[in-house]
Amino acid sequence: MVAAVSRPKVLLVGRIEYAFEEWAEIEKLCEVVLTGKFDDELLEALPESVRYICNIGAGVDSIDLQACKRRGIQVSNTPSLAADGVAETVFFLIFGVLHRAAVPLHTARKGTLMMNKVIGLVGSGHIAQAVAFRARAFGMRVQYCTHSESSPSLENCTRTSFSEVIKASDIISLHVPLNDSTKNVLGKDQFDMMKPGAAIINTARGEVIDNAELCRAVQSGKVWGVGLDVYEQELHIPDEMREDDRFFILPHIATRTREIRGAMERVVIENLQAGIFAIRKDDGGDEGRLQNPV
């Protein structure tokens, strides 16, 4: 009697929304286990045989990367595919903030224009680059700060210090991952440095801003308006933000288009296929190399 060949197991966190046909092919190759949010407790409970974690989206702050590295688990994400959708959402939020779109239309006509505004980008990754491209098309002047090497796509923008971005920008847009060095990167000191009437756009992570200080800056009039697609606690929006028309808020929808989400799912599925084939061959060759390793 021939023993049945065991199939690799894939843990699906959440659900597939668009790439159904591609996911059906994965299900032919492996056993699929469904679960909820990928937190530290889940990571600790995973068996030693786990070799790959493939994340749909740019953010990996919900995955303990150091623990993964210690256990030899490869992690991938889909940062470049999110860039256009998030950049478009940034400008939707800028329109909303500058034109006070959260208030009735007759008062929205009292808003301000984007032409000749200085937009300051904190970060220089794929999303920041996509925002800079669109900002220049709107006649805005772009300055940015980064710890990374400058990208050729930002060569017509001004690279400067973090403090100069904060002090000299009419609009400040955040494009950094959440980690120990970026948590509350905008706090009281930074709000004190800003131009009166500055606007804040955050499509990164809610915790990169000290939200208590943000609300104080808005209430004092120092900050003209705020556009948010992310929050300290996802979709738990503080009353001070919900009830103040100077906050233009969205429920984390920047990448929720069929094209972008489908493309992100397909990259993750391709990474899973590469991992499954590598496990079957029991090697770490080319078949096990992931797109966008973290």
Q: What is the residue type of 161? A: S
Phi, psi at 112, each rounded to 5°:
-115, 170
Q: How far apart are CA 252 and CA 240, in angstroms?
A: 18
Q: Annotated catalytic, 252? A: yes
* Active-site annotation holder among 205, 246, 261, 266: 205
Q: What is the residue type of 114? A: M
* Active-site annotation holder among 25, 234, 256, 259: 234
Q: How far apart are CA 205 and CA 114, in angstroms?
A: 24
Q: Annotated catalytic, 159? A: no
Q: What is the residue type of 157? A: C
Q: Annotated catalytic, 136? A: no
SS3 121: strand
Contact predicate 203/86, CB 8 Å: yes
Q: How far apart are CA 271 and CA 52, in angstroms?
A: 9
- Report angle CA 261, 124, 133 to the nearest 5 degrees: 70
Q: How far apart are CA 173 and CA 77, in angstroms?
A: 22
DSSP state of 293: B
Q: Which residues pair with 75 in a beta bridge?
A: 53
* Active-site annotation holder among 141, 159, 216, 252: 252
Q: What is the DSSP string of 233-248?
A: STT---HHHHT-TTEE
User: Which residues have a catalytic role annotated?
Assistant: 205, 234, 252
